[in-house]
């Protein structure tokens, strides 16, 4: 099957969050099947241009119009290790040669351009995919331009849109429709919602199938609490809104081979996790005790549950445990957490940076991983944590509910500790249950951590589910 993937980020080229991880792993997993031919399209950002490791060959240049604007498109191809996976970079220095990926005043125009340029590139390449798979708002207008202007070039192409996070929808003032999009008036209704141009809403209503990154989030999205205004639009898609739970790239995240670790280990050599714990304590100036290490690798944002963490922080740190946090984010949280860390030397290590090698050592060295997100479409770090033998404590929402069933000490079923309503006391209650088992039922605790390490979180199964779904659209 020929599949085009359109997104604004994909590791190792460019990544600001989980979207980048998924767009690295999913195309690779799909390309495992030699009968598939995958083309991934990304903007050619400054960060990629400056990366000497990326070797991109120039293929062609032409122009696309956004109403009165005639914009240059340069098409480049990167070499990958797989013959049936090509990564194409779309070059336009005016839009993409900037310091940073998102957050510019003209992001709407930048990604409307990108969404349209992709189609011109596929046409030039003579790549006529059976499935055009777009991710998040930045590529949400590709299916719209496909039907509005490129249908005759791609008569049989079906479209899929995946929501990684409904919070970011790509909204613009109503004038944007006439000034930038340059589409016939028919499309105004498709592209508008609540008095604005809304990229994501356009894709949700217009693609053959809408998916999101866990089964539970696919249900939650039908409710106003989770859908940031789009619950009605999403619920109206009925069975054409589906959830496929993400995996992790087990080639990238592998505690047996991870070079960042003091001592690589597996579930069978679980005792070696202890060496990683000691090394982490030394690295972060924590007391070298046997108290459990609780960790978080996260953006410091309210929706990640940092507000309820701050609410319980003092009570938490009065317990016999150590806390390690890695991440940056909202200033108020950075200040609050740094101040608390200064009050608990040897016990709480706050690391205001993102460093993937440190993140690996934290997953490997800690006993528990905290993820109290208010909502979480899928979440990848709880999967990485489990894969590295850190037992998760999570709010049972979104993909966290699907991937961390509660541990039952009697039957040994489940993977971690959960709480059901978003508040600090219930979060602390779940941590206390975990601490109780850690201290008083250590053998069962270790078995749980080993069992979590053995779970299959790879992309094999999710990639099969995507294939099945693509086939169902083509046959339907």
Residues forming contacts to ligand GLC in the complex (CB under 6 A) are: 17-19, 22, 164-165, 213, 246, 376-380, 399
Query: Which residue lies nearer to ligand GLC by CB, 243 or 292?
Result: 243
**5 phi/psi in degrees, rounded to 5:** -115, 125
Strands 171-172 and 158-163, how do they pair? unpaired
User: Tokens 């995946």, residue?
Assistant: 162
Contacts of 398 (CB under 8 A, 6+ apart): 214, 216, 217, 220, 226, 373, 375, 376, 377, 378, 379
CA–CA separation, 111 and 206 (whole Å): 18
Query: Which residue lies nearer to ligand GLC by CB, 413 or 456?
Result: 456
Question: Residue 54 has what DSSP assignment?
Answer: -
Query: Which residue lies nearer to ligand GLC by CB, 226 or 417?
Result: 226
User: Tokens 């055009």, residue?
Assistant: 132
Give the nearest distance from C-beta 223 to ligand GLC in angstroms: 17
Selection from 70, 1, 69, 11 nearest residue 42 by Cα? 11
Query: Which residue lies nearer to ligand GLC by CB, 22 or 390?
Result: 22
Query: Which residue lies nearer to ligand GLC by CB, 157 or 403?
Result: 403
User: Tokens 């919070």, residue?
Assistant: 167
Read off the tokens for 248: 């992790």
Asked if omega into 364 is within 30° of 0 (cis), the reply is no
Give the nearest distance from C-beta 344 to ligand GLC in angstroms: 30
Task: Please give the residue whose beta carbon sits closest to ligand GLC in the complex.
Answer: 18
What's the residue count for the chain? 476
Query: Which residue lies nearer to ligand GLC by CB, 246 or 458?
Result: 246
Give the nearest distance from C-beta 309 to ligand GLC in angstroms: 17
Give the nearest distance from C-beta 17 to ligand GLC in angstroms: 4
CA–CA separation, 220 and 366 (whole Å): 31
**26 phi/psi in degrees, rounded to 5:** -65, -50
Query: Which residue lies nearer to ligand GLC by CB, 292 or 392?
Result: 392
Give the nearest distance from C-beta 145 to ligand GLC in angstroms: 24
Please count the other Cβ atoms lying within 10 Å of the Cβ belonging to residue 426: 17
Cβ–Cβ < 8 Å for 233, 169: no
Read off the tokens for 473: 């659209």
Read off the tokens for 308: 């309820």
Strands 209-212 and 158-163, how do they pair? parallel
Core vs surface per residue 110-144: b (16+ CB within 10 A) or e: bbbbbbbbbbbbbeebebebbbbbbbbbbbbbbbb
Query: Which residue lies nearer to ligand GLC by CB, 21 or 37?
Result: 21
Give the nearest distance from C-beta 15 to ligand GLC in angstroms: 10
Query: Which residue lies nearer to ligand GLC by CB, 4 or 166?
Result: 166
Give the nearest distance from C-beta 97 to ligand GLC in angstroms: 25
Query: Which residue lies nearer to ligand GLC by CB, 18 or 389?
Result: 18
């Amino acid at each position: 099957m020929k599949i085009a993937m359109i997104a604004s980020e994909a590791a190792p080229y460019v990544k600001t969050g989980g979207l980048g991880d998924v767009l690295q792993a999913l195309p690779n997993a799909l390309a495992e099947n030699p009968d598939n031919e995958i083309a991934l399209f990304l903007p050619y950002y400054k960060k990629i241009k400056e990366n000497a490791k990326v070797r991109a060959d120039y293929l062609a240049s032409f122009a696309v119009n956004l109403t009165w604007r005639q914009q240059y498109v340069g098409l480049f191809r990167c070499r990958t290790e797989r013959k049936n996976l090509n990564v194409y970079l779309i070059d336009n220095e005016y839009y993409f040669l900037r310091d940073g990926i998102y957050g510019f005043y003209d992001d709407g125009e930048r990604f409307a351009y990108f969404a349209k340029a992709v189609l011109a590139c596929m046409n030039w390449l003579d790549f006529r995919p059976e499935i055009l798979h777009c991710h998040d708002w930045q590529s949400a207008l590709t299916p719209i331009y496909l039907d509005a202007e490129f249908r005759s070039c791609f008569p049989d192409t079906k479209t899929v849109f995946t929501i990684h996070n409904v919070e970011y929808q790509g909204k613009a003032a109503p004038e944007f429709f006439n000034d930038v999009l340059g589409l016939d008036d028919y499309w105004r209704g498709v592209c508008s919602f609540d008095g604005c141009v809304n990229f994501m809403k356009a894709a949700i209503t217009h693609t053959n199938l809408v998916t999101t990154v866990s089964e539970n989030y696919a249900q939650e999205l039908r409710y106003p609490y989770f859908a940031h205004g789009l619950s009605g639009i999403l619920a109206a898609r009925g069975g054409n809104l589906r959830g496929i739970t993400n995996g992790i790239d087990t080639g990238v995240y592998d505690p047996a081979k991870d070079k960042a670790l003091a001592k690589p280990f597996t579930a069978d050599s679980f005792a070696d996790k202890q060496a990683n714990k000691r090394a982490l304590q030394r690295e972060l100036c924590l007391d070298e005790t046997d108290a459990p290490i609780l960790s978080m690798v996260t953006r410091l944002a309210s929706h990640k549950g940092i507000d309820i963490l701050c609410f319980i922080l003092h009570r938490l740190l009065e317990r016999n445990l150590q806390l390690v946090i890695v991440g940056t984010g909202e200033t108020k949280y950075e200040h609050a957490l740094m101040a608390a860390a200064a009050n608990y030397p040897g016990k709480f290590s706050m690391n205001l940076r993102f460093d993937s090698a440190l993140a690996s050592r934290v997953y490997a060295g800690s006993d528990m991983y905290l993820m109290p997100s208010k909502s979480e479409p899928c979440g990848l770090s709880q999967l990485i944590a489990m894969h590295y033998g850190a037992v998760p404590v999570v709010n049972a929402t979104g993909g966290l509910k699907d991937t961390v069933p509660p541990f039952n000490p009697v039957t040994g079923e489940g993977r971690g500790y959960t709480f059901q309503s978003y508040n600090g006391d219930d979060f602390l209650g779940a941590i206390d249950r975990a601490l109780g088992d850690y201290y008083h039922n250590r053998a069962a605790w270790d078995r749980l951590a080993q069992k979590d390490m053995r779970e299959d979180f790879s992309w094999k199964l999710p990639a099969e589910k995507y294939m099945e779904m693509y086939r169902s659209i083509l046959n339907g």
